[in-house]
Amino acid sequence: MTITIPSTGRYVLTNANVPAAVMGEPASGALVLVDIEIADGKVVSIAAAGDVSVGPDRIDLDHGIALPAFVDLHTHLDKGHIWPRKENPDGTWLGALVAVGEDRNANWAAADVERRMDFALRCAWAHGTAAVRTHIDSAPPQHEISWSILETVRERWASRIELQAVSLIGPDDILDRNNLRAVATRTKAANGLLGGSTGVHPDNPAIMRALLEMAGDFGLDVDLHIDETGDPAADALQSLADAVIETSFAGKVTAGHCCAIAIQPEATAMATIERVAQAGIAVVSLPICNMYLQDRRNVGGVRTPRWRGVTLLNELKAAGVPVAIASDNTRDPFYAYGDLDGFEVLREGARILHFDHPQADAFTWVRSVSAEPAAIGGFTYSGTIGAGLPAELVLFRARTWTELMSRPQTDRVVLRSGSAIDTTLPDYRELDDLMGRQA
Report whether 324 contacts 345 (CB < 8 A): no
Asked whether the CA dihedral 421, 424, 429, 432 is positive or negative, the reply is positive
- Three-state secondary structure call for residue 388: coil
Cα 76 from Cα 102, distance rounded (Å): 16
- Three-state secondary structure call for residue 303: coil
Residue 287 Cα distances to 156, 312, 313, angstroms: 30, 11, 10
427 burial via Cβ count (<10 Å: 0-12, 13-18, 19+): exposed
In this structure, how many other beta carbons lie within 10 angstroms of the beta carbon of residue 239? 23
Residues 6 or more apart whose Cβ sits within 8 Å of residue 366: 19, 67, 346
419-420 and 413-416 as β-strands: parallel, antiparallel, unpaired?
A: antiparallel
Cα 237 from Cα 224, distance rounded (Å): 9
**Catalytic residue (choose from 228, 344, 372, 392):** 228
The residue ranges of DSSP E strands in 194-281, in sequence order, are: 197-198, 222-226, 253-257
* The residue type at 362: A
Cα 322 from Cα 372, distance rounded (Å): 7
Cα 37 from Cα 53, distance rounded (Å): 9
For the CA atoms of the chain, what is the radius of gyration? 22
- Bridge partner list, 362: none
**Active-site residue, 430 included:** no
Active site residues: 228
